Chains A and B, each alone.
Chain A
Amino acid sequence: MIIIESAGITDIGKKRKINEDSMFLDNNLGLYLVADGMGGHRAGEVASNIVVETISNYIKKLSEDDDTQEFNIPDETLSSKANHLISAISLSNRIAHQVSSKNEAYRGMGSTLSAVYFNKNTFIAANVGDSPIYLVHNGDIELISVPHTVIAEQEAAGSEGSRQLGPEFYNMLTRAVGTDETVKPDICEIPYFKNDIIVICSDGLSGNVTPNEILNAVENKSSKTICHYLIELANERGGDDNISVIIIKIKSAHSNTTGIKWLIWRVLEEFKYLFIKKRV
């Protein structure tokens, strides 16, 4: 049993004329997406939209149809839900790529994608591009996505050269959804615990606010308050890009010890629900 309190805000920032970020959140599906589009004119907006719409629709459909369909398993070492997410990402890549190759105005468009999808006792984190996913656990913040940028990959390879790469490489991605015929997300599956907080954002936030500042911001506030605070902070520091952030707070995780606690809690929650409903 998992109870999530989540919120997400996307903001145009202070310098851009359009918001090319797209996002999706649904506590019932347990699916959270941030996509940061790129490409001239309105192409970035189109790309990030295609990605978010395709993935959320695909996962929605799967959860409604149960397992009436047969799925190909792209990766045997992953759980079936992780495989569903990979299939959804591949599909969104195919669609975005088709749109861009058929339409001159959208040529070369692409989008990052960072996704969190909840499984029974774990959550799956998948990403393409540089929109970070952080996990806050026990007072520590950890990047659980893999940044697909030239600089980060050079650093990861232990290359001396990464320090010498000029500013034109700072925003250079090595992977994006929609730019090639296929795409491979980085993926991991992590058990969650009560009080864990997951943060997904676009580089409009992570470029201006450090992980430690995010860590300090997420304690003892509601998800919505945190989102507002972080977006304001990034805007105060220039707001040079679109800013999107999703905060996922795990209020109650699966309880392995007792059923009785859960039962009492369920009953209380039911009451709360009735009470609120009546008032509305």
Chain B
Amino acid sequence: MPLLTLKFKDNAIQDFTLQKEKSITIGRQNNNNIVIENLAVSGHHAKIDSVGDGFVLTDLQSKNGCFVNERLVTSHWLKHGDIISIGKHTLIFEYRQGEVRPAVPSGDMDKTMVMDTSKYRDMMSKSDSNTLSPRMKKNAPSGFLSYLSGGDGEVELEKKLIKIGKDPSCDIVASGLGVGRTAATISKRPNGFYLSFVGGMSKIKVNSKVIKESVALKEFDIIELGSVKMQFFTKE
């Protein structure tokens, strides 16, 4: 496993061996794995995570920053011979002789790669919960329409495309003179719910405004068509 050598000026102070599937923290406070007692060093200054076969250095929003090979970094895949500077101290990252080194993931950075999903999860679970969210993705809120008149209860907008109209096959059936077979649709898009007019003499209204094309639905918008009046809302 690779070695971290802590140096102050030219003097080596201590060696640390990194371990797979272990994270280490670096900082001024005693509860770090590598303690550097110097006022230029933040309480918890940086950490090194094992990700897959490699190691990633992450700055923990330290006051004076982390430098690798004299360049300021926020996050950096460590390579053999990298020199990390924290305050006036340096840490040298080196693999031992004959040790297998991982293929450098950033070897060809302009090329797109697919992240190994297990690697991704690894990284998420090992990192601080406030630095990297363990949830892969915030679940999009679910949309609902609740009946104000012309029906009872609420309808969850589960489908990607919800049809509203006179036709019995519609998800929300509205009666009334001039209501189209499919009068309008609501589509679920990456950034929200959109109501669109489709057809019919009787036009659909959102907050009493006639919709001729499409409109993004906002929380508590009121939708009216023929006999039906509904209110839109979302739930996380």
| Tally of chain A residues near chain B (CB < 8 A) | 56
Q: Which residues of B are found within 8 Å of A38, using beta-carbon distances?
A: 111-114
Asked whether any CB of chain B lies closer than 8 Å to the CB of A2, the reply is: no
The 8 A-B pairs with the shortest beta carbon distances in the complex, nearest first, are A256-B199, A168-B106, A159-B133, A161-B132, A166-B75, A191-B196, A77-B159, A164-B74
11 contacts between A and B (CB under 8 A): A38-B112, A38-B114, A77-B159, A79-B161, A144-B190, A159-B131, A161-B131, A164-B75, A172-B115, A173-B115, A191-B214
Decide: B115 and A189 in contact? CB cutoff 8 A: no
Within 8 A of B (CB), among A178-198: 179-180, 186-191, 193
Q: Which residues of B are found within 8 Å of A130, using beta-carbon distances?
A: 112
Asked whether any CB of chain A lies closer than 8 Å to the CB of B45, the reply is: no
Report if A137-B132 is in contact (Cβ < 8 Å); known contacts: A78-B160, A165-B75, A166-B74.
no
Q: Which residues of A are found within 8 Å of B75, using beta-carbon distances?
A: 164-166, 169
Report if A188-B187 is in contact (Cβ < 8 Å); known contacts: A150-B120, A256-B198.
yes
CB-based nearest B residue for A130: B112
Asked whether any CB of chain B lies closer than 8 Å to the CB of A171, the reply is: yes
CB-based nearest A residue for B56: A166
Of the candidates A82, A173, A189, A193, the one whose C-beta lies within 8 Å of that of B214 is A193
CB-based nearest A residue for B192: A142
Query: A82-B160, A166-B106, A174-B120 given. 11 additional CB < 8 A pairs?
Result: A77-B158, A144-B190, A157-B136, A160-B131, A168-B105, A173-B113, A186-B190, A187-B160, A189-B160, A191-B198, A193-B213
Q: Which residues of B contact A (CB under 8 A)?
A: 56, 58-59, 61, 73-77, 105-106, 109-115, 117, 120, 127, 130-133, 135-138, 158-161, 180, 182, 185, 187-191, 194, 196, 198-200, 213-214
Q: Mark A42-80, 1 if CB is under 8 A from B, else 0.
A: 000000000000000000000000000000000001110
Decide: B191 and A142 in contact? CB cutoff 8 A: yes
Q: Which residues of A are found within 8 Å of B115, using beta-carbon distances?
A: 150, 172-174
Report if A166-B76 is in contact (Cβ < 8 Å); known contacts: A157-B138, A158-B133, A190-B187.
yes
